[in-house]
Amino acid sequence: MKITDLSHLINEDIMVYPGTERPVLQDIDIDGYQEIRITMFTHTATHIDAPYHILKHGRTLDELPIDKFIGPGIVIDCKALAGKEITVDFLKKYENEIADAEFLLLNAGWSLKWKTEAYFDDFPVLSLDAAKWLTNFKLKGIGLDSISLDPVHSIDLPNHHIVLDKEIIIIENLTNLDSLPASGFMFQCLPLKIEHADGSPVRAVAVF
């Protein structure tokens, strides 16, 4: 068995969505033992978007069953689509693999831009038709090595609405996707058990 870590390290220098405050980590000495006080938003680092993040009628992470966060995954290489949309025609080449998976991970190669301003621009995103097409499968989640399922400048976040309405969770800011085989692994992204959570940082891993 091999386990690959797909999560970014959380520190005060981490990339965050434009307008979001970076986390604050304070080392505290209390009567001779150490603790760290952490102040950060739920959508920090490698994290999950729950349906409730966008949809007021959507379920929170703590309302979803625990098996929602574990399942067979596949990786699709979409590095050639920088600055473009991921279309239905592109995804149809992998239709059989998607049908057998519960987690679809989109490898844009964007984790290589981590901690640079280029991380926020021109990453490939699903077309609206592609997002709708993916809801026809048994997917539990869609994972990305970029910061959002929609362009950063998007206000309406249509792809978020489409997939979260079908309770397909979104895992953003993944890394190390190049180290995975195209299929044949189990993906895990267990969130913190936070009451009424609209999102949560996760330690995402692949086991194969």
Domain boundaries, given as residue ranges, for the chain: 3-9+42-207
Contacts of 169 (CB under 8 A, 6+ apart): 48, 49, 50, 51, 64, 68, 69, 140, 141, 142, 189
pLDDT at 15 over 90: no
- Mean pLDDT for 97-125 is 96
Q: Return the minimum-mean-pLDDT range out of 10-24, 84-98, 161-175.
A: 10-24
The pTM for the full model equals: 0.95
Please tell me the least confidently modeled range out of 26-35, 52-61, 193-202: 26-35
Predicted confidence at residue 127, as pLDDT, reads 98
pLDDT computed for residue 31 by the predictor:
83
Residue 53 pLDDT class (50, 70, 90 cuts): very high
Selected catalytic residue, list 8, 43, 53, 160: 53
Six token digits for residue 78: 């979409």
Residue 75 has pLDDT above 90, yes or no: yes
**pLDDT tens digits along 127-171:** 999 999 999 999 999 999 999 999 999 999 999 999 999 999 999
What integer pLDDT is reported at residue 29 of this predicted model?
85
Q: What is the pLDDT of residue 202?
A: 98
103 token code pair: 């987690």
Instruction: Determine whether 53 is an active site residue.
Output: yes
3-9+42-207 CATH choice from 3.90.550.60, 2.60.40.1220, 3.50.30.50, 3.40.50.150: 3.50.30.50
Q: Tell me the mean pLDDT in the region 67-75.
A: 98
pLDDT at site 39: 94
